[in-house]
Structure 1
Amino acid sequence: MGQSHPLDNSVYSALTGPQTHFAQRRGNALRYPLDVSPFMALPDSPDDADWADIAALAGPGGGVTLTALTVEPPDGWEVVTRITVLQLIDDGVAAARDQEAVRLTQADVPEMLALAGRTRPGPFLPRTIEMGTYLGIRSGGRLVAMAGERLRLPGWTEISGVCTDADWRGHGLGTRLMLAVAAGIRERGKTPFLHVVASNTNALRLYESLGFRLHRAMTLVLTRPPGEAPIR
């Protein structure tokens, strides 16, 4: 079952492509390990067997988190959250290396988790750093901003995890790190892209001013199979 474009079903494209080493599979259903990312994936136009497989892959009490052009769970499944996210692609971003940016490593993960916990840029887990290159800026030895790579699909790499400590906002650190991450992606011959929640109009304006162009709207759904306990 082919896909019209890798970005249409980006998690599936990543887990069947450059990030297949992360893939936990049951039939056509795929997911990242729980300590890497919460995202799961089904092929385009999944059938009842695919939905049964992803329910089994989630396990008892587990929610199913999917992102695609459209996500319509079968009858009886509970939709816990449905969010419109916008997918933006590089359309002339002024990507540039940054002399202050340092590559973050496993030794930095506790600080990265703490920064993400304070700023909530989206899911960041103990092994998320393994998904790609993460860069940070430190002040007085303290990690005050970071940005990195999350989904990798054929020809494309997602910029994610962009966050700045509250005490350091307004200095353009997040923007600088985004441009530095974009430079690294381009150097590997890939095209940067990113996602932003549609209601975050300030972020959308910033990304468009940097040279990202709206590609299309996507749907993010957290759902659960019939008979499962409520998700907290």
Structure 2
Amino acid sequence: MVGHDDALVLDDPVGRSLRGPHAHLARTVGRAAGYVPAVATFCALPADPDAADWADLAELLGPGELADMFSNAAPPPAGWEPVFFLEGRQLVLPAGAPPGLPSTAGVVELGPDDVPEMLDLVALTRPGPFWPRTLEMGTYLGVRDNGALVAMAGERLRPPGWTEISAVCTAPGARGRGHAARLVAALAARVVARGERPFLHVAEANTGAIALYERLGFTTRRHVTFQGYRTPGSP
């Protein structure tokens, strides 16, 4: 079972995932790492990258590509164009705290055949990055209404001992029915059952989601700034 000190891996969740449980989904050049295309745009550098590390990342991604640095606060060299900055927070389920357990009735596991519907739901609700192969990062669960996928959530980053819950979204016409709570609780229970701890990230402005996660037992570990840059050169 993961211990209290192991929360330090959450300071670099992308890098620790790519060098650990998600190594099979990683591509690397030197100390720069990123997910293979269509899985995720997240990439990672050491906490104190030097010019050579940034050059390796530029080589890894190619010219004019998005370097989604997640919450790595290291400033890039000149020539890297800022793309986005988003204030957010990282929440964890405290050790020994059972996840909230709303009814999981109607929750189903999603697979490759469901990806087109999952992409449509993400395009409609915009919960955050989700690509054609993101499903390979972990288990995804959904709720269907008359056969149509109306809500989903899944596992994303996997730093050792932890699993991130992400892509929590519900179609506008299906909100207010507790789908998000059931999905997050079901995923958290699975994570805890295998001896890991759940965590998640949320935009600071999404107060409704923060309140939901706190009701399910999650607490804020730290505030973060999500940021991305464009690599130098033209694609």
TM bucket normalised to smaller: over 0.9
Q: Which amino acid aligns with 1:142?
A: A
2:221 to 199, 212, 215: 215
DSSP-derived class of the 1:55 partner: helix
Deviations 1:152-204 (A, max 9, x none): 11110000011111110010101111100111111111100000011222221
Give the number of aligned pairs. Answer: 227
Q: Which amino acid aligns with 1:58?
A: L
In structure 1, the gaps of 5 or more residues are none
DSSP-derived class of the 1:192 partner: strand
Q: Any conservation in 2 of the 1:145–1:174 contact (CA below 8 Å)?
A: yes
Q: Which runs of structure 1 show a deviation greater than 4 angstroms over 4 or more consecutive aligned residues?
A: none
Q: Distance in 1 between matches of 2:27 and 2:192?
A: 29
User: What is the CA-CA distance between 1:69 and the residue it aligns to?
Assistant: 5.1
TM normalised by structure 2 equals 0.91
TM normalised by structure 1 equals 0.92
User: What is the CA-CA distance between 1:96 and the residue it aligns to?
Assistant: 6.0
Q: What value does the CA root-mean-square deviation take over the aligned residues? A: 1.8
Q: Distance in 2 between matches of 1:30 and 1:69?
A: 13
DSSP-derived class of the 2:12 partner: helix
Percent identity over the alignment is 49
Q: Distance in 2 between matches of 1:60 and 1:76?
A: 11
Q: Distance in 2 between matches of 1:95 and 1:17?
A: 29
Q: Which residue of 1 aligns with 2:133?
A: 127
DSSP-derived class of the 1:52 partner: helix
Q: Any conservation in 2 of the 1:68–1:218 contact (CA below 8 Å)?
A: yes
2:91 to 75, 88, 91: 88
1:53 to 51, 56, 75: 56
Matched, 1:192 2:195: no
DSSP-derived class of the 1:204 partner: helix
In structure 2, the gaps of 5 or more residues are 1-5
Q: Distance in 2 between matches of 1:95 and 1:6?
A: 27
Q: Any conservation in 1 of the 2:48–2:74 contact (CA below 8 Å)?
A: no
1:26 to 25, 29, 35: 29
Change (3 A) 1:200 1:4: closer
Q: Distance in 2 between matches of 1:36 and 1:5?
A: 25
